[in-house]
A and B are shown apart, each in its own frame.
Chain A
Amino acid sequence: MNRFIECAGVGKIYPVKTESVEALRGIDFTCDSGDFVCLLGRSGCGKSTLLQLVAGLEEPTAGNIAVAGKTLDGPSPAAAIVFQDHGLFPWMTVRKNVEFNMKARGVAAGERTATAAQFIEMTGLTGFGDRYPHELSGGMRQRVGIARALTTGPRALLMDEPFGALDAQTRGKLQDELLSIWEKQRTTVLFVTHSIDEALLLADRILVFTPRPGRIAADIKVDLPRPRAPQSEAFSALARELRGLIGADRDFD
């Protein structure tokens, strides 16, 4: 397997008025192509910051990030992002939203329409193409966000707590669908979450973050067979281990 996302000595310091806040320090990891990697940690541990850095939306203050073999100097064309607050344009219909990433790349209108229709179907949005985002439920909106991200055939999907704002049922359904899309497309997925169960359900590998400054405390390989059963002994054992690593007590998730 080739290394698809590489971070070497990545650090990020934000200036906040007179002081500065160190969000990340000494992040080293590589992620092979096709892997499903979760960044797990409490809020404020820098996992979302790392995703923004890998997305090329912000620059690291130290170290280097390469995606698809190229050092980043802005968003990589090989990656697409799904945001927690879905980031849909409220003035565009579902179809136009799904088409946007292609439009930004100068894909011709006819091809855009065809590709959009394909991904609208794949994400279960058939019949909603002419709706506006505010007419959809939270889960539906996130499907649109995922459909939009997939249209350019990205080799990596960067997902920033995409299901964090959804109710448990919708969340479970979208997790299943994401896995089936991932199994079909075999894109690399970098998935930020604060939920141990979510990470264990989805990931091949879990990077556990600890805060102040954000660091990778552990790199856990998840070898459980798919589809995964949260009731299983092995699952619970791993969950316990992760809970210990994050330093989470009962108050956590």
Chain B
Amino acid sequence: MRLQRALGLLPLALLLLAWHLAVQAKVYPPVLLPPIAKVLAVFVDDLPTVVDHALSSIGRVIAGISCSFAVAVPLGLMIGRYRWLDLLTDWSIQIFRSVPPISLIPLAILFLGIGDKPAISLIFLSGLWPLLINTIFGVRGIERTLIKVARAARAAEFLVMKDIILPAALPAIFTGLRLAVGAGWLTVVTAEMIAVKSGLGYMILNAQLTFRSDLIIAGIIVIGAIGLLADQLVRLARSYVCRWQEGLTASPE
């Protein structure tokens, strides 16, 4: 099993090999395509810079996605439960979720200026839709008998929400959270290239201006690694919170 997991490293190893061969063959001058060792050196020499920027990016995503979660989950639970709210919001959700958050950067800067505010707002938006839509979807998928059980027991609406609708929707909410974190991470890097003066996005854009392609590549590696780590964390949280699902679904995904 462990050996099978290692299979996932093969494409990455091949990529490294191709990179190494390209450097050896001098396909591009070293200023553009630095050797692997030089990029690794960034993690030693420029470690504080990289960590600082990474932390500001992570902080923004946590702030933005927390806001998405706080808004989307309660709202989604209610839209999924109440037909009239669904009718009221359905079209708006379908329209606004089709707008890429990146395309709102110019507006965000006009209204919110330069800094954390526009960046976090855009992350909030990019996480909002996947969370909202998956939460609604989760509520819809609830077994009808379970709602009948609650009604027959004359359970109060709040108890129904807390003990039945929310847990029933949790697996879908976590699917939404995975997508939201992914979308938020994509958005933060882009937003940082335009709207703020810190973060990994800013770091790699700035590195381009100073011809530090080693720093650019190091930044990209960090972005990818954090993206992978964040996804794994959400999956871990999901399998803990939804452990009642073990053996209930076809695959342990």
Contact = CB atoms under 8 A, between A and B. Distances in A.
Given A75-B151, A134-B248, 15 more contacts: A56-B152, A81-B148, A85-B145, A86-B145, A87-B146, A90-B248, A91-B168, A91-B244, A92-B167, A100-B149, A103-B155, A103-B159, A105-B153, A105-B154, A134-B247
B153 A100 contact: yes
Contacts of B163: 89, 92, 100, 103
Interface string B163-175: 1100110100000
Interface string A87-105: 1011110000000110111
Contacts of B155: 100, 103-104
B145 A135 contact: no
A86 B163 CA distance: 17
B150 interface: yes
Given A103-B159, A104-B159, A87 B248 contact: no
4 closest Cβ contacts across the A-B interface? A104-B155, A104-B153, A87-B145, A91-B167
Nearest to A86: B145
Contacts of B247: 134-135
A75 B168 contact: no
Contacts of B156: 104
Interface residues of B, number: 23
A81 B143 CA distance: 16
Contacts of A89: 146, 149, 163-164, 167
Interface in B162-201: 163-164, 167-168, 170
A74 interface: yes
Interface string B230-248: 0000000000001011011
Contacts of B153: 75, 100-101, 104-105, 152
A57 B148 contact: yes
A171 B156 CA distance: 34
A77 B151 CA distance: 11
B244 A90 contact: yes
B237 to A, nearest CB: 16
A81 B244 contact: no
A57 B146 CA distance: 12
A97 to B, nearest CB: 9
A5 to B, nearest CB: 15
B148 to A, nearest CB: 6
A83 interface: yes
Given A83-B145, A83-B148, A85-B145, A90 B154 contact: no
Nearest to B242: A91
A77 B245 CA distance: 32
Interface string B121-149: 00000000000000000000001011011
Given A87-B145, A90-B244, A135-B247, A81 B167 contact: no
Contacts of B245: 90-91
Nearest to A103: B159
Contacts of A74: 151, 154
B149 A132 contact: no
Contact of B149 (A56, A79, A81, A135): A81
B151 A57 contact: yes
A226 B111 CA distance: 81
Contacts of A152: 153
B152 A81 contact: yes
Interface in B55-86: none
18 contacts: A87-B143, A87-B146, A87-B149, A89-B146, A89-B149, A90-B248, A91-B167, A91-B244, A91-B245, A92-B163, A103-B159, A104-B154, A104-B159, A132-B244, A134-B247, A134-B248, A135-B247, A152-B153
Nearest to B241: A91
Contacts of B146: 87, 89
B158 to A, nearest CB: 11
B242 to A, nearest CB: 8
Interface in A7-27: none
Contacts of B248: 90, 134
Contacts of B151: 57, 74-75
